[in-house]
Amino acid sequence: MSVEIRPARPEELADYLRVVKYVFAVPPDDPNAQPDLEWRLDPEHTVCAVVDGRIVSTYGAYAFDVRLNGTRVPMAGVTNVGTLPGYRRQGHIRELVLRGISDARDRGQSCTMLWASYAAIYQRFGYGLASKWVGYRWDPRYGALTGPRATGRTEVVAPSEGRAIAEELHPRFAEPRNLMIERSGEFWKRLFEPPPPTPPPQHMGVYRNAQGEARGYVLFNVREHEDWEPGPNQYATVRDFAWLDIDAYRGLWEFLAGHDLFREIDMERVPEDDPAMLLLLEPRTLHRRTGDAIWLRVADAELALRQRAYGAAGTLTLRVVDEHFDWNDATFRIEAGEASEVSRVGGEAALTVPVARLAQLLSGYASASELARAGLIEVNEPSVLGTADAMFATAYRPYCQEGF
């Protein structure tokens, strides 16, 4: 039996996709049930296990630009990881995932990121949980906010007409945030023109302030449920939601809550620090759900530490432990300021950090103090925890709107 670990060749892309569709239970012959698996898929950014000439295990990566505490950073978005039955438990996924991390470093991508179907797999390879998934399912009859009403108005526009507004506003919404992917034209196409069976957004609301300036928007779908229950029978699903200030947020929320025939509004992906919990008169009515979202793997620790914008000035030495890659297994001195510097040093470090925990520090998902209390990092100098907490603080909680 011959085994090759290599990228898929262009002529093998159909075979690659057949494996992916089998692993993720996509009907192979129903074009209306197939997700857009070829979206931005570059064969050079795949890795496959090829056994006796047949692709049996797959890995892929998209080239993204991602905000890391406001700084634009190239990262790899990992997707399509799976193996056919009969070839599992043979180490293929291990080889593909580690090869993918190394390839990302070679391409100048300091981190790889993914949504995990089974998180235990990726933690073995140094991935750390970097953000939470948060969703709401709320009844607009109980959606009143505290405080003043919005100063402007949200107007209904056709999505085709409002798309240019969304494309102008969203980068401004994403710019200061953390783990937000910068949307390319293909992202916008997938949002406004999704492949079947996902319907395109039916409605769009654009919020304009008292001066007439567009400051936020919401895209949503509505379906009617036929039942004999009294009261409203429409269900709305929010597809996209962005705002530039709290006045715009209030205006968009009031707009959604003002639909008298909505029984339920489903918001499937909102920021962990979304202000609704602070603003609602009855926050329990959100039926807030949480789970794991983005898992992050540091491919090049030195590069990631250089790229990261820090929350406060300070100096810190970190010993990064990476059992898979020697280039990450080192001690780094971080001098954070207006022009931050990172250098490799010898000697004892103030903190010893496994590479998965470095991902959590970089993303702002967990502070050094939190990790220390959980016994996940080694503290050699307790006095530096406050400095580390301030340096790795983020303006916003990590949040990724995009599925991939």
pLDDT tops 70 at residue 36? no
For the domain made up of 134-291, give the CATH fold: Aminopeptidase (3.40.630)
pLDDT at 29: 61
314 Rama sector, left if φ>0, alpha if ψ -120 to 50, beta otherwise = left
Average pLDDT over residues 266-280: 96
CA atoms of 5 and 51, how far apart (whole Å): 9
Say which CATH architecture domain 3-109 belongs to. 3-Layer(aba) Sandwich (3.40)
The closest of 322, 153, 185 to 250, measured between CA atoms, is 153
- Letter string b/e over residues 130-142, b meaning 16 or more CB atoms within 10 A of that residue's CB: bbbbbbbbbbbee
For the domain made up of 300-391, give the CATH fold: Nonspecific Lipid-transfer Protein; Chain A (3.30.1050)
Share of the chain above pLDDT 90, in %: 83
pLDDT at 39: 61
Domain boundaries in the chain? 3-109, 134-291, 300-391
The model's confidence at residue 341, banded by pLDDT at 50, 70 and 90, is very high
* Per-residue pLDDT tens digits for 161-185: 999 999 999 999 999 999 999 998 8
Phi, psi (5° rounding) for residue 215? Answer: -125, 0
The model's confidence at residue 97, banded by pLDDT at 50, 70 and 90, is very high
Chain CA centroid to CA 394, Å: 16
Asked whether the domain spanning 134-291 has the same topology as the one spanning 3-109, the reply is yes
pLDDT tops 90 at residue 232? no
pLDDT at 26: 82
* Per-residue pLDDT tens digits for 234-259: 999 999 999 999 999 999 999 999 99
The model's confidence at residue 195, banded by pLDDT at 50, 70 and 90, is confident
Tokens 């990302």 belong to 104
pLDDT at 190: 87
pLDDT at 233: 83
pLDDT at 201: 87
Is 108 or 34 the better-scoring residue by pLDDT? 108
Average pLDDT over residues 214-228: 89
Contact criterion met (CB below 8 Å) for 59 and 96: yes
Angle of the 159-174 helix axis to the 185-192 helix axis, nearest 10? 130
* Per-residue pLDDT tens digits for 276-297: 999 999 999 999 999 999 999 9
Give the bridge partners for 6, in sequence order: 48
Q: Quote the tokens at residue 150.
A: 């919005």
pLDDT at 30: 55
The closest of 111, 114, 219 to 169, measured between CA atoms, is 219
pLDDT at 382: 93
